[in-house]
Structure 1
Amino acid sequence: MFYCMKKQTTHRVLTGIMALILASAVGGMALGTDPQVAEVQSHAWGLSFQQENQPPSAELTSDELAPYDAYYCGQQGTKRLYITFDAGYENGNTAPILDALKKHNAQAAFFVVGTYIEENPELVKRMVDEGHLVGNHTWHHPDLSQTDRATFEKELLDVEEIFGQVTGQEMPKFYRPPEGKFSDENLVWAKEMGYKTILWSLAYVDWNTEDQPTRDKAFSKLLPRTHDGAIVLLHSTSATNAQILDELLSKWEEMGYTFGSLTELGAPAQQ
């Protein structure tokens, strides 16, 4: 199987989503309008690391997420990492991050908000030119778990539009929920828009620009949590990440890892 499995007892199956889909299919009802439909659940993505260099436990399993083209981890048993960055704004750290990725011939995915593309077109074009995926992190970075479908779609479509204007290309269909907050309906809507929803299985507290971790602190958090198939979440605003990325990529390579593309997620396992 391609996806990470939780080692502890799995949490509830996404019964709310299944009920929503059934309600939509039977009688043409709009999602969430039938009082008999199970209550739509909201989620705030979090992880619990139980064992060193093993996948974390998460609220939803890969098997529960997979029918909706949603992923937080890749294939177990292969030394593959998927590096992603969230980019809400630019503060000078993205260029050295791109330099380090280029040095190691490592592809990454940058999940950007609409204003990032608007304000940093040359950096976005560089990401594309150097083979990185530029994913959709919505225009305003809102909590979409409490919103309606029209608002959800507009947040993604507006980013697609500015990306096309800047690059002349269609935006890759990869979406990351802001702050990791999403509802069952969001998963359905994203899939119906052609998107894969990308969560993560490896992260650390790197987002606070006023309290950046030291090099040693970063390595003490990241390296023991590294595991096969990890989708790594980093922030491109982190000065620490910009400083350590070259060394971090080298350490991962020494651990036997190679760097993959999110396009691999959901593909049949290689024989």
Structure 2
Amino acid sequence: MAKHISGILLGSILLVVGILVNPYAVKAEEFHWGFKKATDGVPPSAGSELDKLLDDHGAIYKGQGEEKVVYLTFDNGYENGYTESILDTLKKEKTPATFFLTGHYVKSASDLVKRMVKDGHEIGNHSYDHPNMANLSEQQMKEEWEKLDEVLYSVAGVRRTVYARPPEGVFNAKLLQAGNDLGYRHIFWSVAFIDWHKDQPKGKDHAYNELMKQLHPGAVILMHTVSPDNAQALPDFIRDAKKQGYKFHSLDQLVKEYESKSSMTQ
């Protein structure tokens, strides 16, 4: 019995020591954003647990209404030569978008960042160094977001971002709350496909078909600008979505819709 008690005490001491030596030995719960893809124009659902977690923190991944509206968003970690074509298409089709940028992108593709701002697109915060944000302390989260804002201001004159997106969609309640406390609102997505491998193009038709198959009212679309497939498919997608009665709105408009619907249900 004494040996058993000693073993328990020793185990407890080792656990405590382990936490003190390595504060990440016990990690906070984290979620990897995902959902079953939309089909037949029916919006996807993340499930009641994640829906509630996001709602509690004002985070959004789709529109709340049945109106045919689309919100285009792009994640930019590095430049691969296709963003200019995407910007040309958006300008020609008079379509707004939000670009979630990293620190590396802002510094290495400053001319493109300046053009995004000049063309009237929104800039989102994808963190400075693209880490697993859910594993960071609140101070480290703050530094990631604010460091991106600082370099963005120095390059393009944007004083700060208000929309954040966690790298690789990894998040938890702590991250969402820390963002809220600093004035950031997390924006996820309801339409996506594997398009971030710059050396694995699947062709224009692949990107176009994925976008059209998953299209639904209130769709928040995530694309990566490193893909030639996306740059080539975007013109036809925008035009054909419009032919189906869809309109393209900004995230600012999405937030207004979200808040209007939320106030009506309270």
The alignment status of 1:65 with 2:54, answered yes or no, reads yes
Structure-2 separation of matches of 1:235 and 1:176: 13
Shift of 1:255: 1.3
Map 1:30-41 → 2, pairs under 5 A: 40-41=28-29
Query: Is the contact between residue 84 and residue 234 of structure 1 (CA under 8 Å) also seen in structure 2?
Result: yes
Gaps of 5+ in 2: 1-26
Shift of 1:75: 2.4
The alignment status of 1:216 with 2:208, answered yes or no, reads no
The C-alpha deviation readout for 1:34-86, integer Å capped at 9, x for no partner, is xxxxx953100011026422111215554541231211111221111100000
Identity of aligned pairs, percent? 36
Q: Which residue of 2 aligns with 1:45?
A: 33
Structure-2 separation of matches of 1:121 and 1:66: 34
Query: Is the contact between residue 117 and residue 124 of structure 1 (CA under 8 Å) also seen in structure 2?
Result: yes
Write the letter of the residue equivalent to 2:40: E
Q: Secondary structure at the match of 2:192?
A: coil
The C-alpha deviation readout for 1:197-227, integer Å capped at 9, x for no partner, is 0100001111111111222222222212100
Write the letter of the residue equivalent to 1:189: A
Map 1:122-271 → 2, pairs under 5 A: 122-264=111-253, 265=255, 266-269=258-261
Map 1:2-151 → 2, pairs under 5 A: 40-49=28-37, 51-59=39-47, 60-151=49-140
Write the letter of the residue equivalent to 2:138: R
Shift of 1:163: 0.7
TM-score (norm 1): 0.82
Shift of 1:137: 0.3
Shift of 1:171: 2.2
Write the letter of the residue equivalent to 2:194: V
Instruction: Please say which of residues 260-269 and 192-201 is displaced more in the overlay.
Output: 260-269
What is the RMSD of the two structures over their aligned residues, measured on CA atoms? 1.8
Structure-2 separation of matches of 1:123 and 1:164: 14
Gaps of 5+ in 1: 1-38
Query: Is the contact between residue 28 and residue 135 of structure 2 (CA under 8 Å) also seen in structure 1?
Result: no
Write the letter of the residue equivalent to 1:156: W
Structure-1 separation of matches of 2:133 and 2:50: 21
The structure carrying a bigger helix percent of its residues is: 2
Shift of 1:168: 2.0
Structure-2 separation of matches of 1:146 and 1:167: 30
Count of paired positions: 233
